[in-house]
Amino acid sequence: MKRGRPAGEPHRLSRRGQSLILLVGFLVALMGGVAASITVGTVYFAQTRLQNAVDAAALAGAQAEMQGGSPTTNQTYLKQQNMPAAQISVANLTDPPNSVEATGAVTVPGSFASLFGIKHFTVHARGVAQITVQAPFKYALFQGAHPSTLPLSGDVKVNGDAHSNGNMALSGNNCISGVASVSESGSTVAHGGKCTVTFTQVPYIPMPDWTLAQVTPGNATVISGAACNNIPQSLVGNYILYCNWNTSSQITVDGNVLVEPGYSIAVSGGLVISGSFTVDSGSISISGGMTQDMPGAGAALAALNGGNISISGNSKIQGVLYAPGGSIDLSGNQKITGAVIGDYVSLSGEKTITYDGTETNALPVKQVALIQ
């Protein structure tokens, strides 16, 4: 005899239907959670890259303004961040003063959120960089190129802080007594252990800057044309040269010399100077050693607008070696009291670099830094 279903008991098919509804609901909720997490990750990643782009644009704008130009959007920074679709604008601000603001926006796809009707998201970012005047630059050794490796080989002793906007590679019997900071990972130490060097990773540090007008000597005698063929080997006073100065004799300068754009200095007999040598977009090459023993002179040698500095031979320098857009190549035995600041720096041989604030503070240094 066929047994009937007890009164009040639900049908088995009914229970199965309820379980199926719960399972479908769970799967929908799970898909929603996955979609939300993927979408949040996509938006966060885009936000981070956009913030990096506007920070770089703000720094570039402030740097351009500091050098007498106008802040503009540089698409290079967008390409570096792999965000060609981003819209970035750059503008001057009066509050805070001497600052540049960069704002940006980019639209990113909604990813799995599009299943729920959300096709895209728009993210925004803002960065503000400010020009600081007469800011102390407390580095005995500084390499500004990014990314780059600051190589120290031979027997180099740095009495003070050293920084590279890339990384550092130390080989030989080197020592950095202050903070050794880098903006990239991967720095190495392979030497005999003159002292223990520990690297600290910090954000990118802009190159300090001063303008050509600020280093142009006053009351200067101009040498150009035919007079360039008979430049005295000993100069007293301030001079502006519109010519190359190549000599195998020793040069003695008691004053300040500025070499105008397109011209360079090459001295193979050594340089004795009480003052400073500045070239605008040219190069300074000195072999046979250099002596500069005038405290508070600021820049002993400066190569602006992409110029380079190279020194070989025994040298004693009281001042700053400065090449913001070029290279500084030092070989031989040198004792420098002041600072070595270049876009690229190469040090080999035996040398001591000791930070001296009286030299760096003597320069009208400007810097740019992110403040927001």
User: pLDDT per residue over 72-106, tens digit each?
Assistant: 655 555 555 556 677 888 888 888 888 888 888 88
The mean pLDDT of 4-16, rounded to a whole number, is 54
The mean pLDDT of 234-244, rounded to a whole number, is 91
Closest by CA position to 204, among listed 150, 146, 148: 146
199 pLDDT above the threshold of 80:
yes
- Structural contact between residues 148 and 168, judged by C-beta atoms closer than 8 angstroms: no
Which pLDDT value is given to residue 9? Answer: 55
Between 202 and 263, the more confident residue is 263
Q: Model confidence at 229, in pLDDT bands (50, 70, 90)?
A: confident
Phi and psi angles of residue 158, each rounded to the nearest 5 degrees, phi first: -110, 115
Q: Model confidence at 263, in pLDDT bands (50, 70, 90)?
A: very high
179 CB-contact burial (10 Å; exposed 0-12 / middle 13-18 / buried 19+) = middle
- Structural contact between residues 172 and 191, judged by C-beta atoms closer than 8 angstroms: yes
Distance in angstroms (rounded) separating the CA atoms of residues 167 and 83: 26
Beta-bridge partners for 266: 246, 285
Asked whether the CA dihedral 54, 88, 91, 143 is positive or negative, the reply is: positive
* Backbone φ/ψ region at 110: left (φ over 0), alpha (ψ -120 to 50), beta: alpha
Which pLDDT value is given to residue 132? Answer: 72
111 pLDDT above the threshold of 80:
no
Distance in angstroms (rounded) separating the CA atoms of residues 148 and 157: 21
4 pLDDT above the threshold of 70:
no
Between 213 and 169, the more confident residue is 169
Which pLDDT value is given to residue 242? Answer: 94
Kindly report the average pLDDT of the chain as a whole number. 79
Distance in angstroms (rounded) separating the CA atoms of residues 4 and 63: 90
Distance in angstroms (rounded) separating the CA atoms of residues 188 and 9: 77
163 CB-contact burial (10 Å; exposed 0-12 / middle 13-18 / buried 19+) = buried
- Structural contact between residues 288 and 171, judged by C-beta atoms closer than 8 angstroms: no
361 pLDDT above the threshold of 80:
no
Cis, peptide link before residue 324, omega less than 30° from 0: no
Q: Which amino acid is at 248?
A: S
204 pLDDT above the threshold of 70:
yes
The mean pLDDT of 66-72, rounded to a whole number, is 66
